[in-house]
Amino acid sequence: MRTTTGEGKYVTVMNTTTIAAELAKVTDHWTPRIIGQVNDQYVKVAKLLGEFVWHAHENEDELFWVISGRLRIQLENRDEVVLEPGEFFVVPRGVRHNPIADDEVEIVLIETVTTTHTGDVVVERTVPIERQFSAD
């Protein structure tokens, strides 16, 4: 997916894939897997189950697109958002949120390359960006 230019810079290698095939490679809940990059945005897939953690991304919006399952996103001082398959929601930068999957949910995330996994908090579930790159 990515290869070095030899100068410490990375380029995206063109290839085809399906979301289903990439989701099949995800083995751990709440562990995003980077499957592509468009300019300064990563395209990630993840499987979610249970409650995550309240957090915010001060400088980045975050797009959640549900592929299967039902995702609830609690938002601080706002109504909860419920997403069904095929629906997406953008959490605006700076908004504290907490994703919850009562049953397993498969999602696509689109995030700026500077977005940290758990935003303004670090917890046991925090996955650093270098662990999010797909191995193939």
Query: Which H or E element spans position 3?
Result: strand 2-4
On whether the pTM is more than 0.75, the answer is yes
Write out pLDDT tens, residues 18-75. 999 999 999 999 999 999 999 999 999 999 999 999 999 999 999 999 999 999 999 9
Give me the residue label for tokens 């189950």.
49
Write out pLDDT tens, residues 65-121. 999 999 999 999 999 999 999 999 999 999 999 999 999 999 999 999 988 776 676
Would you list the DSSP string of 55-122? B--TT--EEEEEEES-EEEEETTS--EEE-TT-EEEEPTT--EEEEEEEEEEEEEEEETT--TTTT--
